[in-house]
Structure 1
């Protein structure tokens, strides 16, 4: 009965299409038109556009006689490759002499095939190469009405029996973080059905709960164990998973850095010179690499400083003549430089060497300059001086050099002090507020070096933020999920302004972010806790949205730092973790987003169906590529569709994930000073540092007095599965004592304990008068 109920809720067209789809051999052609929705420029009574795709030769669509630019659009549930189009005009009419076949790209209809001098009633168009599209328009250009019996679009069959290998209960296959939200999805399981979390080793039930809305919550299950667990429901079970301190960080941090090392242009896993690529292969001008690297380091410096150094400086002089000038203007970094700082240096070096002056490339350099105090111990002063002068010379420049552009450029002008009111497309190339953080950073950098014109940067950021508060409409998907992997840029701008300049922020930021949060929750009421594109559509039409899912937690945690309603904050935290879960298998395909996930990510059982070989990025051999994610075809729960739609990794997907991991680290970092009596204190640092449960992790925390003098306190984890690192100090006779080191205090002094740097610094400020001696 339960299964019958599900079948009733599924549209007839889906089963008709699925029957055709699954009955064909692997390389057979598949009629996609049965899965489409049809619309038209006009129609005569009883001749609706849907009749052109109903498979019935006795019905047809007809435009009005006065419609001189008649068209019909077929819209599919998701993007797929079209290899042939059959057009059947009504036999009793004169067929259109001239018409175009078009697809929608970045909001514009583009012609991929043109027919002229036609006299045939049946037109067969075989495309030289497949067209990846989610909608097709047939446009008459002869000024005549159009009458069509049938339009058939044919594509390759993608279904893949391995698509049925997933489990009936969908979880994060790798594992969950201790003390964080943990959920699973159990499609078609009725409300109030009991579930059990079972220890895979012992077979013991260790936690129970009830399924509600086809999902279960076991956030309160926090075992201090290295065992694996399963979700079991009435004979159904999930893949095994782990629960541990900083589990997601454990399985991704090194992978994140290795991806960025391998995806570098010229010097990564391949040394080819690629089109639409600058510092990173297939990176374009809106990959946000620099700011993601800076955010990663500032949020959790100990984790990146302790990593094995795999990178090294590669001189431009070692390469043939055609590589001259592509990098090398910046003097090399020191030999012991952490990989993540090497990557910042690389990105800046390419931008400076090639004099890239697109507004987004210039803006990225502000992040390097802002991070300078924290990375300068490894870099020559020349790096800062050269970049700062270049940025000053080009920040307000309106024009852009042709070599800095690509086909995706939408910027009307490149002066970063000007107000940006143009929304980008679903390509993700122009998110609202992309100039806010760079301008505020330039204000801080210019103030730091004593430039008299520092205020102009702040004024530009203020005007931009004020415009966003007053004009952004969250109900329009193009201000949110429609920006795809760049969506996080907008909410991060709100958070940066709010926290770094609380006394000078525009009015309305809090209310605006509250509205955004509620809108996101409203679009996430489903069995996956998955934020939809709109109330009607699950994903951005026609796009591989992998980076949006990966970057969404950054937007959420940026917002959570502003929200004051505790219940709303808890719901938003759950939503952030549900998207991490989605990327690691809690989705309709039951697959983690990386084709090589099972070999690269601890605990992953099923990786993505396939990977794209070649392409501009040549990323197939790079570590930790996010290759694909479920398409509209797969939602709400059609795993049987298999490997349908476009699959290809992109640097922009990984940098979105980098940013989310940085914001997660900062959000949960905390410092506590506990009085043990007699002037003895314990410092406890909560930060994602305990990755290897078999070794004792250590970290240092800085203590600063009001005069700016400082000392470091060493901390170590209290137990193998601890989330905190602890250390001790004494405060007596107006001084802080840590071993043999001392920090003097005045009677009106205060001490500041810090971890992290810059806008990601977490601090505990304690006036001396409040500290018991």
Structure 2
């Protein structure tokens, strides 16, 4: 069982192991808000929680409301002990009704009442429950009139929760020349702040809070010193500011998590349910596209990474593992870890003959990346995957071995129009078939398939439907898709990037509308995009993956839009959500329990980690274990370790995708000729250590298709710009002992990144 903030034993939480601050029981409904299934004019839901017993101050349901309910939402997590219900004199007596709390996104019964013959009912709960909302529910086709729904208990406080810093920052550090912000929710809203160098004690930057938020984006020191924010007597955790800092502390960790979470071959060889390539990965883990996006966005960073794994033959395992992998031939011995992981995901899918639409769609990314993988992988890999997708792409149904209880797909034919939205589980995000169909369009064209156009048409029709039908004001089209939300906006960005002249009408304006809704829901002192105007997070869900995956959606939108003010606001949100996962949140904690041991600079990790579970992530590095729940916001650190904690591969793949799209957004390349010198500049996330030289090699090609490798080096120790200068002499470009033939009028080309993540510079050579 995953992702609920109410830990239930027979739908109730016995609080014997947690110390609660006890206080006199009060009617907590008076502090809450009410909503209902229906109401009559003059008898709105709020009148049932106003403390008045006058029948005129009642909630009345519509007489035709067959399923009547009244829900009270409390300000925060509450220990509920007793509920009093008073029906108005005009109301029918209810022999049966239920009291419910939100559990895993659905309402579940706390207490069922049968045989009632009273209008004044007091229910003492046999065991207290923890919740921030409770619902009265009755099945009747008669008018209901409730004078008061009173809830008695006390605010929940976890006595084990540590004091939280008054100034919340990204505990690890910030990237040079990127937005750098912090929150101080309990301090004066407009207080002065200082950035203090911890090695010297000197104030190196001054600013002023705006609505409890400090911005020191203009402070870009060229140093490895630790810094802290100081407001009056309060001080933040220390942090660093470095070139590509987030990449420095995350890249190796991201790969290590995926290595450790592999099914069969990771940190355990246990065979698990809901698992194919990844333990507890289910059919909607998005691992393939996250790994492909990471690699294509910044290939040199992953190709230079130390290789730590190697191919493991299936026949080296016992019979129970037979056929679990091995349908794709092995890769070369020197294959980078990330490419091995891409191969692993595809190999397991093909070996198991998985037919779910999401699993087939994931395999399309393997085909897309093939031109950049084939230096390590045998041609058989591409041929087998392409043939399998040709055979199964339009298959409507799916065999039981390819799916799970979470499957909501009406059809597994990826050419079909997808109009159904998934739940907050994240299993069916809008637009999931767009990019895969465009990939298949290109793959089919390259193979001379006369029916290739059908894939493009399916992608076009799907995006056109989304433009015309998705309502961004409905949170189920955005944050309600949880860790899968990025799938939707990435579909818009991919279509616009690859087929700008063939995109459906209204694409850019639809993206702009999405951006405006995101910005409007983020006007708070965390720069945190809320679920809706009233809800901070999806009710009752562990939404860790949405925080981690939102930057991918934001950077995608930024790649489409032209309005600089909107793009700047989205950029702030992208970095604020990275910061949120690194401690700039109401709990003051990094999302990973072992963050202090595994992530440079992190001081305080998540409260706990989940032991066991389907994923068995106990020994895996870089697990995002938990995140603040709705009752932690806007600023209730005293709630502490309340709510479900469990890492999930889906959370990490969302982060992978965000890191890939972030790298791509900031990458650029230029080439110019100054007299007899060719100057190439690459801006990319490659300089992770200012004390070391980390050169990068790029392929420079001429109009005849000839090419040579050229080396670029950091422009300076703290720069993310790489530069190379090469002589043009006697009809050639010289790079060390190598040369490339050129003549006046020839076009030179240099690239970085691959596929839809590729950045290109071209230059016409002059005399």
TM-score, normalising length from structure 2? 0.89
Partner in structure 1 of residue 639 of structure 2: 641
Alpha-carbon distance between aligned partners in 1 of 2:344 and 2:763, rounded to the nearest angstrom? 40
Partner in structure 1 of residue 717 of structure 2: 720
| Bigger shift: residues 328-337 or 215-224 | 328-337
Please list the CA deviations of residues 1-57 of structure 1 after superposition, one character each: whole Å capped at 9, or x if unmatched: xxxxxxxxxxxxxxxxxxxx9x99825598996575444446799997668778999
**8 Å Cα contact 2:279/2:616 also seen in 1:** yes
Partner in structure 1 of residue 742 of structure 2: 745
Distance 1:417 1:75, change over 3 A: farther
**8 Å Cα contact 1:673/1:681 also seen in 2:** yes
Partner in structure 2 of residue 616 of structure 1: 614
Alpha-carbon distance between aligned partners in 1 of 2:717 and 2:244, rounded to the nearest angstrom? 12
Distance 1:84 1:429, change over 3 A: farther
| Bigger shift: residues 292-301 or 437-446 | 437-446
Distance 1:355 1:29, change over 3 A: farther
**Gap regions ≥5 residues in structure 2:** 1-12
Give runs of aligned pairs for residues 53-92 of structure 1, distance below 5 A.
69=66, 71-76=68-73
**8 Å Cα contact 1:423/1:431 also seen in 2:** yes
**8 Å Cα contact 1:37/1:76 also seen in 2:** yes
Distance 1:603 1:414, change over 3 A: same
Distance 1:324 1:144, change over 3 A: farther
Alpha-carbon distance between aligned partners in 2 of 1:61 and 1:126, rounded to the nearest angstrom? 28
Partner in structure 2 of residue 178 of structure 1: 176
| Bigger shift: residues 170-179 or 333-342 | 333-342
Partner in structure 1 of residue 249 of structure 2: 251
Partner in structure 2 of residue 563 of structure 1: 561
Question: Shift of the alpha carbon at 1:213?
Answer: 1.9
Alpha-carbon distance between aligned partners in 1 of 2:634 and 2:495, rounded to the nearest angstrom? 37
Please list the CA deviations of residues 118-141 of structure 1 after superposition, one character each: whole Å capped at 9, or x if unmatched: 6796666668xx999765544335
Q: What is the count of residue pairs matched by the alignment?
A: 745
**8 Å Cα contact 1:729/1:736 also seen in 2:** yes
- Does residue 1:683 correspond to 2:670, yes or no? no
Alpha-carbon distance between aligned partners in 2 of 1:57 and 1:192, rounded to the nearest angstrom? 44
SS of 2:511's equivalent in the other structure is: helix
Give the alignment partner of residue 390 of structure 1, picking from 388, 408, 418.
388
**8 Å Cα contact 2:194/2:203 also seen in 1:** yes
| Bigger shift: residues 496-505 or 468-477 | 468-477
SS of 1:304's equivalent in the other structure is: helix
Question: Shift of the alpha carbon at 1:743?
Answer: 2.2
Question: Shift of the alpha carbon at 1:449?
Answer: 2.5
- Does residue 1:765 correspond to 2:762, yes or no? yes
Alpha-carbon distance between aligned partners in 2 of 1:118 and 1:605, rounded to the nearest angstrom? 55
Give the alignment partner of residue 340 of structure 1, picking from 335, 338, 345.
338
Alpha-carbon distance between aligned partners in 1 of 2:649 and 2:339, rounded to the nearest angstrom? 18
- Does residue 1:458 correspond to 2:456, yes or no? yes
Cα-Cα RMSD = 3.4
Partner in structure 2 of residue 497 of structure 1: 495
SS of 2:282's equivalent in the other structure is: coil
Question: Shift of the alpha carbon at 1:73?
Answer: 4.1
SS of 2:463's equivalent in the other structure is: helix
Question: Shift of the alpha carbon at 1:709?
Answer: 2.3
Partner in structure 2 of residue 672 of structure 1: 670
**8 Å Cα contact 1:328/1:350 also seen in 2:** yes
Please list the CA deviations of residues 253-289 of structure 1 after superposition, one character each: whole Å capped at 9, or x if unmatched: 0110111111112221122222222211121111111
Alpha-carbon distance between aligned partners in 2 of 1:359 and 1:102, rounded to the nearest angstrom? 35
Question: Shift of the alpha carbon at 1:732?
Answer: 3.6
Distance 1:43 1:416, change over 3 A: closer
- Does residue 1:224 correspond to 2:222, yes or no? yes
Please list the CA deviations of residues 575-603 of structure 1 after superposition, one character each: whole Å capped at 9, or x if unmatched: 21111111111112211111111111111
SS of 2:630's equivalent in the other structure is: coil
**8 Å Cα contact 2:262/2:278 also seen in 1:** yes
Alpha-carbon distance between aligned partners in 1 of 2:129 and 2:344, rounded to the nearest angstrom? 36
Alpha-carbon distance between aligned partners in 2 of 1:99 and 1:325, rounded to the nearest angstrom? 52
Give runs of aligned pairs for residues 313-324 of structure 1, distance below 5 A.
313-324=311-322
Give runs of aligned pairs for residues 512-661 of structure 1, distance below 5 A.
512-661=510-659
Question: Shift of the alpha carbon at 1:75?
Answer: 4.9
Question: Shift of the alpha carbon at 1:154?
Answer: 8.0
Question: Shift of the alpha carbon at 1:344?
Answer: 0.9
Give the alignment partner of residue 355 of structure 2, picking from 342, 354, 357.
357
Partner in structure 2 of residue 162 of structure 1: 161
Please list the CA deviations of residues 47-100 of structure 1 after superposition, one character each: whole Å capped at 9, or x if unmatched: 976687789999997766957846444454699799988676779999744444
SS of 2:671's equivalent in the other structure is: strand
Question: Shift of the alpha carbon at 1:749?
Answer: 2.9
| Bigger shift: residues 315-324 or 386-395 | 315-324
**8 Å Cα contact 1:544/1:629 also seen in 2:** yes
Question: Shift of the alpha carbon at 1:708?
Answer: 2.6
Alpha-carbon distance between aligned partners in 1 of 2:109 and 2:480, rounded to the nearest angstrom? 23
Alpha-carbon distance between aligned partners in 2 of 1:45 and 1:370, rounded to the nearest angstrom? 58
Partner in structure 2 of residue 416 of structure 1: 414
Alpha-carbon distance between aligned partners in 1 of 2:319 and 2:49, rounded to the nearest angstrom? 57
TM-score, normalising length from structure 1? 0.88
Partner in structure 2 of residue 309 of structure 1: 307
Partner in structure 1 of residue 10 of structure 2: none
SS of 2:524's equivalent in the other structure is: coil
Distance 1:210 1:88, change over 3 A: closer
Partner in structure 1 of residue 18 of structure 2: 26
**8 Å Cα contact 1:79/1:645 also seen in 2:** no
Alpha-carbon distance between aligned partners in 2 of 1:761 and 1:468, rounded to the nearest angstrom? 27
Alpha-carbon distance between aligned partners in 2 of 1:420 and 1:513, rounded to the nearest angstrom? 19
Distance 1:71 1:322, change over 3 A: farther
Partner in structure 1 of residue 6 of structure 2: none
Alpha-carbon distance between aligned partners in 2 of 1:428 and 1:648, rounded to the nearest angstrom? 16
